Structure 1
Amino acid sequence: MGDLLEDWRLANVVSFFRKRCKEKPGNYERVVDIWNVLPEKAVDTGTLATFKQHLNEYLKYQAIAGYGPGAEPLLQWELGVHVEVADIFPFLQLAHTLIIVRRLCASDMAIIAPVFSRHELPNSGLYLLVTKSAFNSNNEKWYDVKPKLCTILNGDCENIALRNIVLTNRHVILLTTHGLFVSHNLLDVGENPKPGRQIEYYRSKLLPSPGQSSSTSGSERVRLWFTHYCFTENTDNPADFLSLTMTTFTFTSELRKINTCFYGTSPFKEWKMCSPPHTEYIPDIITALWDQQRNTLIILSYLALSSKFRAKVTLRKFNEDFTLRKMKAFPEFYFSDEHFLPNGMFMYPNTYTVYVFGSQVWFSNDGGISFELLLKLKNDFVEKIITCPRNNAVIFITILQNVYYTRPGLARYASLRIFKEGLSTLHCDHLGMLMKITLLENSPTGLKIHFLDLLDLISEDDASFSRPLALQFLTSTKAMFFEYISWIENEEGARPMFSNYHIGKMLQQRLWF
């Protein structure tokens, strides 16, 4: 065989932490430098030079087009002015909510945005933290974007505060008390990108500034809805889609609530109504999501029928100019429970699974054509959904801090034991690890990261049977179970508990005395 070349024995190996215990070597992965395992002595100079050229062009294309792990544009931009956590922590600890956003194609990159319940903080900024390693290192940085926004507002930014943030495949979108701000296209890195460049923002004309608001005798609630998707396998790079719902409360002779909905595509300079033109009746729209695979708009709304409220889902096709067709793509779906109060809608990335959540949770496996009840809450309300695409996990968080866990398209759920600790939030990283993130003073980044195990957190699930089962043997190896359902339950539409979820499970008999 001959002697092994010395270069073939060398490799530039870097170990990086993967998950769980840092003291165990098995929890680390290795990255090998390709040029040490493919030396010039093994390949002729022309072939190696051509290979390097194509590889560099491919990596450059990744950075520009948004493909692969090296594509995250946040690596090449600064969100604002860098600030030290020790200087801003007195303001951070006054926040009431932590919002975490990430891009689906590179979920190890994430942004944390603290939201304040009051904006009487004239000396504070609009602070954002960026992590490039899924919080597995202490290299996270805090930025203040207030100076950028104040320049756009010509200095009229007193008491400006952040309300929400969305990270699309191309833009950072900030919803503030002074309007909606959109970054430039972050994928436009240029020929020779230089580190330290700050993101430029522009103000959308969709939302008026506080001084221009026409509703002087009311208040407004604005919400942003973004359909997460990764276009790694789509060379057409579809435009980012964002919908905005605005609920206006007016106090004149009587209290009146008006819901309006708009949608737009990148660069979000033009917006359209979520209802097609010349529609006789426009219901109160809660949210609207874009189904990229079918090019339809999934609209969640409610309307009054005989003094009763009914929630419904409508699907409408888009025209080539991205306007809505008046004809519905499918028949509307009406939720059977008139007491169901919907709060929002979420589409699991790159699937047809849609969740409608609120006082109940319903799910659809056909893109919103039909729905099935998953979870029914009592005196509680689902306000947030977290997804772990790596291990297909969906987590619901309620206003009472109850946490429920399921998988896409599964008609079962489990309750999780997660104890709230100060100002904290949950996040799922690119490896499928669930973590609890808490603000912590005197830490290098102002954060405390605690990894959680989903299996250890399950306190109870609904896979058991609350109704009696009758066993009948068909043969010596086959048996049939009959589940008892009373006439009253049958009239109320009771569902059988047996499903494919029980395949491979062992039934344990419970004795009652």
Structure 2
Amino acid sequence: MEIHNRTNSAAFTFTLNINTSTWRVTVPRHNITINTGIAPVDQWYVEISMFQGFEALHAKAQLLETLKGTMLDVTREPILQWTIGKEISPQAILLHEHRIIKMRVTQSPCASDVAVMAPIFKPGGNTGIILSVTKSSFTSNDRWFNVTNALMGCPGINLVDLKLTNCHLFLLTNQGLYISQDLLSPVTGTLNFTLLVLPILAEMDYSSMTLWYSSQCVTNHMYFSGITF
């Protein structure tokens, strides 16, 4: 098994009993990385090559299959550390299902398994802004948040678009653009948002806008210092 990203790689060997239908491989985290600080870090990729024979490098060993996937460092991924507003039950969204007109999804620039999803509701009503954060795929086990009170917006606030960057979560609403505090800052409570005030946009209709962001995984070399395999 090989685990790698753009800057590091490590290989691990294990014995597989081909007579079993399931199997589990445990690799201690410190064998991959020793860093634990919250930071945008390159996504890890996993390749598992299964051989039949005495040894993988033996002349008679036969390659059965190579499996590929991704591995997420949940300890360091910034957005996963935060509570984004009031946490609600996944079933709560069903009460507003009939008002959903589309869904918006934004991925983490460094870890494509991590994403924030938000339903866009019909204008009118007081549904507010509801988000879900996932680390694998959107299921009933994901965390859902009502962000309305955290934005301190006026009644009738609705989400238009959203973007997750390396250090901030941007929420474009019908009442303006909100920017989260630095996702890399120490977690001391619920994620705070600030309304960006731009006089030039004061008379514009936010509901007709979209957010544009050239997604790049921007990491600092300091986050990789001290990594050993």
Q: Would the TM-score normalized by the shorter structure come out above 0.5?
A: yes
Question: What amino acid does structure 2 have at the position aligned with 1:168?
Answer: T
Q: How does 1:89-488 map to 2 (within 5 A)?
A: 89-118=94-123, 120-122=124-126, 124-135=127-138, 138-150=140-152, 153=153, 157-189=154-186, 193=187, 197-206=189-198, 213-214=202-203, 221-232=208-219, 235=221
Q: Give 3-state SS (helix, strand or coil) of 2:212's partner.
A: strand
Q: What are the Cα deviations for residues 14-40 of structure 1, in whole angstroms up to 9, with x where unaligned?
A: xxxxxxxxxx957x7x441439xxxxx
In the superposition, relative to structure 1, how do residues 104 and 202 fare at CA in structure 2: closer, same or farther (>3 Å)?
A: same
Query: Taking structure 2 as the reference length, what is the TM-score of the superposition?
Result: 0.64
Rounded to whole Å, the distance in 1 between the matches of 2:200 and 2:83 is: 27
2:89 and 2:144 in contact (8 A); partners too? yes
* Candidates 60, 75, 82, aligned match of 2:80: 75
Rounded to whole Å, the distance in 2 between the matches of 1:160 and 1:78 is: 20
Rounded to whole Å, the distance in 1 between the matches of 2:109 and 2:77 is: 10
Question: What amino acid does structure 2 have at the position aligned with 1:186?
Answer: L
* 1:75 Cα deviation after fit: 1.8
Match of 1:333 in 2: none
* 1:78 Cα deviation after fit: 0.9
Q: Give 3-state SS (helix, strand or coil) of 2:216's partner.
A: coil
2:114 and 2:135 in contact (8 A); partners too? yes
* 1:91 Cα deviation after fit: 1.3
Query: Where do 5+ consecutive residues of structure 1 fail to align?
Result: 1-12, 14-23, 36-51, 238-513
1:107 and 1:134 in contact (8 A); partners too? no
Q: What are the Cα deviations for residues 92-130 of structure 1, in whole angstroms up to 9, with x where unaligned?
A: 331111111111311111111111231x112x2210011
Match of 1:426 in 2: none
Q: Give 3-state SS (helix, strand or coil) of 1:180's partner.
A: strand
1:103 and 1:109 in contact (8 A); partners too? yes
Q: Give 3-state SS (helix, strand or coil) of 2:38's partner.
A: helix
1:172 and 1:183 in contact (8 A); partners too? yes
2:117 and 2:133 in contact (8 A); partners too? yes
In the superposition, relative to structure 1, how do residues 173 and 187 fare at CA in structure 2: closer, same or farther (>3 Å)?
A: same
Identity across aligned pairs (percent)?
Answer: 29
In the superposition, relative to structure 1, how do residues 83 and 220 fare at CA in structure 2: closer, same or farther (>3 Å)?
A: closer
Query: Taking structure 1 as the reference length, what is the TM-score of the superposition?
Result: 0.31
Rounded to whole Å, the distance in 1 between the matches of 2:200 and 2:97 is: 28
* 1:64 Cα deviation after fit: 3.0
Match of 1:32 in 2: 26
* 1:163 Cα deviation after fit: 0.3
Rounded to whole Å, the distance in 1 between the matches of 2:106 and 2:206 is: 27
Q: What are the Cα deviations for residues 474-496 of structure 1, in whole angstroms up to 9, with x where unaligned?
A: xxxxxxxxxxxxxxxxxxxxxxx
2:175 and 2:206 in contact (8 A); partners too? no
Q: Whose strand proportion is higher, 1 or 2?
A: 1
Q: Give 3-state SS (helix, strand or coil) of 1:99's partner.
A: strand
1:180 and 1:206 in contact (8 A); partners too? no
* 1:182 Cα deviation after fit: 0.2
In the superposition, relative to structure 1, how do residues 198 and 104 fare at CA in structure 2: closer, same or farther (>3 Å)?
A: same
Q: Give 3-state SS (helix, strand or coil) of 2:211's partner.
A: strand
Rounded to whole Å, the distance in 2 between the matches of 1:230 and 1:87 is: 33
2:174 and 2:207 in contact (8 A); partners too? no
Between structure 1 and structure 2, the one with the greater Rg is 1
* 1:76 Cα deviation after fit: 0.9
In the superposition, relative to structure 1, how do residues 109 and 220 fare at CA in structure 2: closer, same or farther (>3 Å)?
A: closer
1:65 has 2:39 as partner: yes
Q: What are the Cα deviations for residues 369-401 of structure 1, in whole angstroms up to 9, with x where unaligned?
A: xxxxxxxxxxxxxxxxxxxxxxxxxxxxxxxxx
1:160 and 1:176 in contact (8 A); partners too? yes
CA RMSD in angstroms comes to 3.2
Q: Give 3-state SS (helix, strand or coil) of 2:171's partner.
A: strand
Total equivalences in the alignment: 174
Rounded to whole Å, the distance in 2 between the matches of 1:76 and 1:231 is: 19
Rounded to whole Å, the distance in 2 between the matches of 1:205 and 1:110 is: 27
Q: What are the Cα deviations for residues 431-488 of structure 1, in whole angstroms up to 9, with x where unaligned?
A: xxxxxxxxxxxxxxxxxxxxxxxxxxxxxxxxxxxxxxxxxxxxxxxxxxxxxxxxxx
* 1:222 Cα deviation after fit: 1.8
The runs of at least 4 consecutive aligned structure 1 residues that moved more than 4 Å come to: none
Question: What amino acid does structure 2 have at the position aligned with 1:98?
Answer: M
Q: Give 3-state SS (helix, strand or coil) of 1:88's partner.
A: helix
Rounded to whole Å, the distance in 2 between the matches of 1:103 and 1:207 is: 30
* Candidates 84, 105, 125, aligned match of 2:89: 84
Rounded to whole Å, the distance in 1 between the matches of 2:83 and 2:197 is: 25
In the superposition, relative to structure 1, how do residues 93 and 175 fare at CA in structure 2: closer, same or farther (>3 Å)?
A: same
